[in-house]
């Protein structure tokens, strides 16, 4: 907080830092941030919920982001999502019941030449097939 | 399938002077090649060259080598040979090519149409300079334009060159850059403060030009920004970049740090009295933040909600001060214009759309990747000569430009020249440069629905026509793709599209119906097949039982 400066303009940067540190934005974290930046909690909550990058729910131990950009869409991103839903019973925005995997979608990660793509725990995977992605996801360790 | 960390390890071999180097292997370390395993190729090549004791061979980390679909890419710089899908276990071809390089032989370039039809200006350093090396950038004429502008030109002269170049905003709008700069230069704030913002919130799905520029040549963007700041009288700048581009952000931050240390940014730019510094601001996933007033709200730490214009940011922008906003590619074009003159730039392209444009070629086309061409080429030249046409023996169906604000153009438009006016006339837009090729496996109604889904989800909700209209349009399109719609629904789609376009507050809503308009204009038969016959000609939509 000190590094980013206690200015209201730093709110988004602070939210980024908080989410990076805790994995998601807890109610307490939002309240602390509001107090530190001298902003109403409603404003902090409003910003945190406006941007799709921020999440107020705890995430799974592993995160899979399937890109749904135009190139991935015409190359079968929907087939990847369908296969994950069928096999692991988790839909975009949800976390598996055992807390192992959160499934997210991205608007476009800009690696269109490798479509369809997904990012698993920060690693980008390209020219994916449903079996290839599933075998990677089922191999994730608890 | 392979994977990679966001940033490769920083292992470096001992630097050699140019005279010691007989042959160089350029390893592409842009995001797509990294995702295909370029960092392991780099490490293996380093070991191989060291192991064989090739003292006069240099292994160099470079930015995008353009042919992204064929990564990891390695180029032997002297012979122009490009190696595709290189693996760490199979470096024989590269090593052979390196050993065949002779100092007395002239430098060769690729003869492949993918490269020869391009005209790299903005991307001239791609695949040549190490994006994390200031020395490399400077050796390639980097920061020469900035020094020239500050030491031997007045701000008005810089403005004059940019105006005479005819450069237009490459973010999509196509507003004349010189005119925008002049407005900011003339504007005054009571305290004299002006700001400059580089829009790197590349939101269009299917567009990765700005990511590539930031990853491959970040100093060039900083140089363009500093020149612009000098011309308009701003001392403080921001780059607003998507959080989805971690590699671009990290290279940009590195570039800012070393440029500051070397005196290209800071209180005395190039030892002059001109001060200019740059900060990075991260987006957080909101398409609407590409709109300039929403972007400004976001930089201030708020919700990215647009406000009505005027006043335009050029008069009252960030913190109410005059603010110049251009996108990455626009700023990156400026150093070339200053070095070669506005006239030289204006001589390229068409009279009203001068210079070059960078496109991200993707989708159902053989060679996908980054393409910089002079304005005025035809779509056919880009898709077939450069892109190599549609693979797997399928038929070309449409090219989508301009993302969710653009449109789909059919095969009979392939001989149309690509410039701002022609694209607009045909019902699409230039946009930021995403160009997605579709073949006969894509359903145009489903494509329209896809983009409407995007817009309804990204609508910020501030104005009713966009918030409600995009959702209603999506529901109508969804009904058509399920085969449960009637002709009256299609009339409703057309009426509502016009309302949303006319009544929305900002560009997001105003252009959201464009994919609907263009697909209705060129592919109406497909809509009718869904409605009247319950058939999806492309076989994409699952038509409901009721119709079958």
* Residues B263-272: tens digit of each pLDDT: 999 999 999 9
Q: What CA–CA distance (Å, rounded) separates B13 from B54? A: 12
Please tell me the distance in Å from B296's CA to the nearest CA on chain A. Answer: 11
Residue A67 lies in a domain: yes
The DSSP code sequence of B375-411 is TT-BHHIIIIIIT---STTPPEEEEEESGGGSEEEEG
Residue A3 lies in a domain: no
Residue A87 lies in a domain: yes
Beta-carbon separation of A51 and B286 below 8 A: yes
Shared domain check, A66 and A131: yes
Q: pLDDT band at residue B1, thresholds of 50, 70 and 90?
A: very low
Q: Is B431 on the interface with A (CB under 8 A)?
A: no
Residue B545 has a pLDDT of 52
Enclosing domain of residue B365: 356-439
Please tell me the distance in Å from B157's CA to the nearest CA on chain A. Answer: 35
Q: Is B216 within 8 Å of B131 (Cβ atoms)?
A: yes
Q: What CA–CA distance (Å, rounded) separates B117 from B200? A: 27
Q: Is B133 on the interface with A (CB under 8 A)?
A: no
Shared domain check, A68 and A117: yes
H or E, element range at A64: strand A62-67
Beta-carbon separation of A74 and B369 below 8 A: no
Q: What CA–CA distance (Å, rounded) separates B171 from B168? A: 9
Q: What CA–CA distance (Å, rounded) separates A4 from B61? A: 32
Alpha helices in chain A (DSSP H): 11-22, 27-37, 41-50, 70-74, 77-88, 130-138
Please compute the mean of the pLDDT values over residues B51-57 and round it to a whole number.
94
Q: What is the pLDDT of residues B438-459, one digit of tens each?
A: 999 999 999 999 999 999 999 9
Look at residue B49 and tell me whether its pLDDT is greater than 80.
yes
Shared domain check, B458 and B429: no
Residue B109 has a pLDDT of 81
Q: Is B406 on the interface with A (CB under 8 A)?
A: no
Shared domain check, A124 and A93: yes
Shared domain check, A66 and A46: no
Q: Is the peptide bond before B311 cis (omega within 30 degrees of 0)?
A: yes
Of the CA atoms within 13 Å of residue B30, those in its CB half-sphere come to 36
Q: Is the peptide bond before A137 cis (omega within 30 degrees of 0)?
A: no
Number of Cβ within a 10 Å radius of residue B110: 14
Residue bearing the bigger pLDDT, B93 or B173? B93
Shared domain check, B307 and B215: yes
Residue bearing the bigger pLDDT, B544 or B225? B225
Shared domain check, B173 and B60: no
Q: What CA–CA distance (Å, rounded) separates A15 from B308? A: 28
Q: pLDDT band at residue B16, thresholds of 50, 70 and 90?
A: low
Shared domain check, A128 and A66: yes
Q: How many helices (H) and strands (E) does chain B have?
A: 21, 13
Q: pLDDT band at residue B17, thresholds of 50, 70 and 90?
A: low
The DSSP code sequence of B190-215 is TT---EEEEEE---STT--HHHHHHH
Shared domain check, B66 and B190: no
Q: Is B434 within 8 Å of B475 (Cβ atoms)?
A: no
Mean pLDDT of chain B: 94
* Number of structural domains found in chain B: 4
Residue A56 lies in a domain: no
pLDDT exceeding 90 applies to what percent of chain B? 92
Shared domain check, B298 and B210: yes
Shared domain check, B375 and B403: yes
Residue B378 lies in a domain: yes
Q: pLDDT band at residue B543, thresholds of 50, 70 and 90?
A: confident
Q: What is the pLDDT of residues B87-142, one digit of tens each?
A: 999 999 999 999 999 988 887 888 899 999 999 999 999 999 999 999 999 999 99
Please tell me the distance in Å from B241's CA to the nearest CA on chain A. Answer: 12
Beta-carbon separation of A112 and B243 below 8 A: no
Look at residue B299 and tell me whether its pLDDT is greater than 70.
yes
Beta-carbon separation of A9 and B450 below 8 A: no
Residue B542 lies in a domain: no
Residue B212 lies in a domain: yes
Q: What is the pLDDT of residues A81-140, one digit of tens each?
A: 999 999 999 999 999 999 999 999 999 998 999 999 999 998 999 999 999 999 999 999
Alpha helices in B54-153 (DSSP H): 92-100, 113-116, 134-139, 144-152
The DSSP code sequence of B27-55 is EE-SHHHHHTTHHHHHHHHHHHHHHTT-T
**Considering the entire predicted model, what is its pTM?**
0.94
Shared domain check, B449 and B431: no
User: Measured between alpha carbons, how far is residue B417 from residues A27, B45, B123, B428, B430 in Å?
Assistant: 54, 43, 22, 13, 11
Contacts of B403 in chain A (CB under 8 A): 70
Q: What CA–CA distance (Å, rounded) separates B265 from B257? A: 9
Residue B173 lies in a domain: yes
Look at residue B15 and tell me whether its pLDDT is greater than 90.
no
Residue A57 lies in a domain: no
Q: Select the residue of A106, A107, A123 nearest B3 (Cβ to Cβ).
A: A123
Beta-carbon separation of B299 and A50 below 8 A: no
Enclosing domain of residue A46: 8-50
Shared domain check, B271 and B333: yes
Q: What CA–CA distance (Å, rounded) separates B181 from B183? A: 5
Shared domain check, B226 and B209: yes
Look at residue B14 and tell me whether its pLDDT is greater than 70.
no
Residue A4 has a pLDDT of 65
Q: What is the CATH number of the domain that holds A72?
A: 3.40.30.10
Residue of B6, B245, B301, B368 to mutate when probing chain A, most A C-beta within 10 A: B301
Q: Is B60 within 8 Å of B25 (Cβ atoms)?
A: yes
Look at residue B547 and tell me whether its pLDDT is greater than 70.
no
Q: Is B85 on the interface with A (CB under 8 A)?
A: no
Q: Is B209 within 8 Å of B360 (Cβ atoms)?
A: yes
Please tell me the distance in Å from B77's CA to the nearest CA on chain A. Answer: 23
Number of Cβ within a 10 Å radius of residue A61: 16
Residue A3 has a pLDDT of 64
Q: Is B444 on the interface with A (CB under 8 A)?
A: no
Instruction: Give, as one character, the DSSP assignment of residue B264.
Output: S
Residue B76 has a pLDDT of 96
Rg (CA), chain A: 17
At CA B363, angle to CA B68 and CA B63, rounded to 5?
20
Q: How far apart are the first and last CA of chain B?
A: 40
Q: Which residues of A touch B (CB under 8 A)?
A: 7-13, 15-16, 43, 46-47, 50-54, 68-71, 73-75, 106-115, 117, 120, 122-128, 132, 136
Shared domain check, A132 and A76: yes
Shared domain check, B433 and B449: no
The number of residues making up chain B comes to 548
Shared domain check, A74 and A17: no
Q: What CA–CA distance (Å, rounded) separates B413 from B391? A: 20
Contacts of A7 in chain B (CB under 8 A): 301
Exposed, middle or buried by CB within 10 Å (0-12, 13-18, 19+), for A92? middle
* Number of structural domains found in chain A: 2
Instruction: Give, as one character, the DSSP assignment of residue A95.
Output: B
Number of Cβ within a 10 Å radius of residue B484: 16
CA-nearest residue to A10 within chain B is B301
Torsional class of B284: left (φ above 0), alpha (ψ -120 to 50), beta (otherwise):
alpha
Q: What is the pLDDT of residues A35-75, one digit of tens each?
A: 999 999 999 999 999 999 999 999 999 999 999 999 999 99
Coil vs helix vs strand at B303:
coil
Q: What CA–CA distance (Å, rounded) separates A41 from A24? A: 17
Residue B4 has a pLDDT of 38
Coil vs helix vs strand at A101:
strand
Q: pLDDT band at residue A1, thresholds of 50, 70 and 90?
A: low
Residue B9 has a pLDDT of 43
Residue B369 lies in a domain: yes
Rg (CA), chain B: 24
Q: Is B445 on the interface with A (CB under 8 A)?
A: no
Look at residue B54 and tell me whether its pLDDT is greater than 80.
yes
Q: Is B283 on the interface with A (CB under 8 A)?
A: yes
Residue B178 lies in a domain: yes
Beta-carbon separation of A52 and B285 below 8 A: yes
Shared domain check, A37 and A74: no
Residue B286 has a pLDDT of 94
Q: How far apart are the first and last CA of chain A?
A: 32
Look at residue B6 and tell me whether its pLDDT is greater than 80.
no
Q: Is B282 on the interface with A (CB under 8 A)?
A: yes
Contacts of B245 in chain A (CB under 8 A): 110
Contacts of B207 in chain A (CB under 8 A): 108, 110
Residue A1 lies in a domain: no
């Amino acid at each position: 907080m000190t590094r980013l400066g206690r200015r209201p303009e730093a709110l988004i940067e602070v939210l980024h830092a908080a989410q990076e540190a805790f994995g998601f934005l807890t109610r307490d974290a939002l309240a602390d941030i509001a107090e530190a930046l001298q902003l109403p909690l409603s404003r902090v909550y409003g910003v945190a919920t406006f941007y799709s990058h921020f999440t107020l729910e705890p995430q799974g131990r592993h995160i899979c982001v399937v890109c749904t950009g135009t190139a991935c869409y015409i190359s079968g991103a929907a087939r990847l999502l369908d296969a994950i839903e069928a096999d692991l019973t988790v839909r975009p925005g949800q976390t598996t019941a055992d807390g192992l995997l959160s499934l997210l979608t991205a608007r476009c990660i800009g690696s269109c030449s490798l479509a369809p793509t997904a990012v698993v725990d920060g690693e980008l995977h390209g020219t994916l097939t449903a079996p290839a992605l599933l075998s990677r996801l089922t191999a994730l360790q608890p | 399938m392979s994977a990679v960390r966001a940033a490769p390890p920083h292992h470096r071999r001992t630097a050699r002077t140019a005279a010691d180097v007989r042959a160089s292997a350029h390893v592409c370390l842009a995001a797509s090649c990294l995702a295909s395993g370029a960092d392991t190729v780099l490490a293996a090549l380093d070991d191989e060259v060291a192991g064989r004791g090739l003292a006069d061979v240099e292994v160099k980390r470079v930015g995008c080598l353009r042919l992204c679909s064929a990564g990891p890419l390695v180029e032997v710089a002297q012979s122009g040979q490009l190696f595709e899908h290189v693996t760490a276990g199979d470096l024989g071809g590269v090593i052979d090519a390196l050993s065949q390089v002779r100092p007395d032989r002239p430098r060769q370039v690729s003869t492949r149409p993918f490269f020869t039809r391009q005209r790299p200006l903005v991307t001239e350093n791609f695949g040549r300079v190490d994006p994390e090396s200031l020395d490399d950038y400077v050796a390639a004429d980097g920061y020469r334009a900035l020094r020239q502008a500050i030491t031997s030109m007045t701000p008005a002269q810089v403005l004059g060159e940019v105006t005479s170049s005819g450069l237009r905003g490459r973010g999509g709008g196509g507003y004349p850059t010189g005119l925008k700069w002049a407005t900011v230069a003339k504007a005054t704030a009571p305290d004299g403060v002006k700001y400059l913002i580089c829009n790197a919130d590349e939101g269009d799905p299917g567009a990765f030009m700005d990511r590539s520029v930031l990853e491959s040549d970040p100093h060039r963007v900083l140089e363009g920004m500093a020149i612009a700041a000098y011309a308009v009288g701003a001392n403080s700048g921001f780059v607003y970049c998507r959080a989805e581009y971690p590699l671009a952000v990290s290279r940009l931050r590195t570039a800012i740090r070393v440029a500051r240390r070397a005196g290209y940014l800071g209180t005395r730019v190039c030892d002059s009295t001109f001060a200019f510094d740059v900060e990075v601001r991260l987006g957080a996933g909101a398409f609407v933040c590409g709109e300039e007033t929403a972007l400004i709200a976001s930089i201030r730490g708020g919700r990215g909600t647009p406000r009505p214009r005027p006043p335009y940011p050029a008069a009252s922008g960030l913190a109410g001060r005059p603010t110049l906003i251009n996108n990455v590619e626009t700023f990156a074009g400026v150093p070339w214009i200053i070095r070669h003159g506005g006239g030289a730039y204006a001589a390229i392209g068409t009279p009203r759309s001068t210079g070059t444009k960078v496109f991200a070629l993707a989708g159902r086309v053989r060679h996908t990747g980054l393409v910089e061409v002079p304005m005025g080429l035809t779509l056919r030249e880009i898709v077939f000569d450069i892109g190599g046409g549609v693979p797997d023996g399928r038929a070309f169906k449409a090219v989508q430009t301009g993302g969710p604000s653009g449109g789909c153009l059919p095969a009979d438009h392939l001989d149309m020249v690509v410039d701002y006016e022609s694209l607009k006339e045909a019902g699409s837009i230039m946009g930021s440069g995403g160009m997605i090729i579709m073949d006969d496996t894509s359903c145009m109604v489903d494509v329209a629905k896809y983009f409407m889904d995007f817009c309804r989800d990204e609508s910020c909700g501030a104005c009713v026509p966009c918030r409600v209209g995009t959702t209603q349009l999506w529901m109508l399109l969804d009904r058509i793709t399920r085969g449960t719609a009637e002709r009256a629904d299609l009339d409703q789609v057309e009426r509502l599209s016009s309302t949303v376009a006319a009544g929305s507050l900002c560009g997001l809503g105003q252009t959201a119906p464009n994919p609907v308009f263009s697909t209705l204009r060129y592919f109406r038969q497909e809509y009718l097949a869904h409605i009247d016959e319950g058939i999806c000609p492309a076989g994409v939509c699952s038509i409901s039982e009721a119709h079958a």
